Amino acid sequence: MEPSALRAVFGRFATGVTVITCTSVDGRPHGATVTAFTPISLAPPLVQVALTRTSKACLYLQDASFAVNVLAADQVDVAMQFAGRPGQDPVRWQDGPVAPVLAHTAATISCRPWRVDDGGDHLLFLGEVVDVAVTDARPLLFHGSAFHELGRRSADAAWTGCADDPHRGWFDATSSFSPLPASAYRTTTCAPA
């Protein structure tokens, strides 16, 4: 697969913009702008962040707590700051429950480390959610290599049905599923830059 074609098609998927924050090896707050964030599970409460193996944050997240800061629409400068293009304004840090967090975001998800998995040229960091904070701020979006703001609603409500939902579809409410043991997954480490 041609990387440029794959990058172009990935760019058609609109995402929110997050800054993953943690503590560096010298104890200072560190952040990285990430659009590859995914909610994973409600029970247990898990989220996933994909980071390129060469990022500094990747090195700091090995067995470390972190926060997912969902940026607000007016935080393009914050997104650029943590993507490597510093601006004039200082970063506004706050103490979080398990890791440093950013001020004035749309939401913050604080996590303890759960597992790290191989994701090709990325590592997949799963975190167990231990605390959340939500504001009324509208989120910043990313699509087609550009930042966007949330537009008007397309419909009055989301469809909540799902064909494989135990209450509505293929499986009945008595079905149960057990996760594979951790030993079934290949865990890996960061490659220094």
16-150: CATH superfamily: Electron Transport, Fmn-binding Protein; Chain A (2.30.110.10)
Q: Is the peptide bond before 44 cis (omega within 30 degrees of 0)?
A: yes
Please report the pLDDT score of residue 156 as a whole number: 64
pLDDT in tens, the chain (193 residues): 787 777 777 666 577 899 999 999 899 999 999 988 989 999 999 999 999 888 888 889 989 999 999 999 999 999 999 988 877 788 899 999 999 999 999 999 999 999 999 888 889 999 999 999 999 999 998 777 767 787 777 766 666 666 666 556 666 667 777 777 766 655 556 665 5
Please report the pLDDT score of residue 185 as a whole number: 58
Q: How far apart are CA 137 and CA 75, in angstroms?
A: 10
**Domain boundaries, given as residue ranges, for the chain:** 16-150
Please report the pLDDT score of residue 116 as a whole number: 93
The string of DSSP codes covering the chain is: --HHHHHHHHTTS-EE-EEEEEE-TTS-EEEEEES-EEEEEETTEEEEEEEETTSHHHHHTTT--EEEEE-BTT-HHHHHHTTT---SSPP-EE--SSS-EETT-SEEEEEEEEEEEEETTEEEEEEEEEEEEE-SPPBEEEETTEEEE----SSSS-----TT-TTTSSS-TT----PPPGGGSPP--PPP-
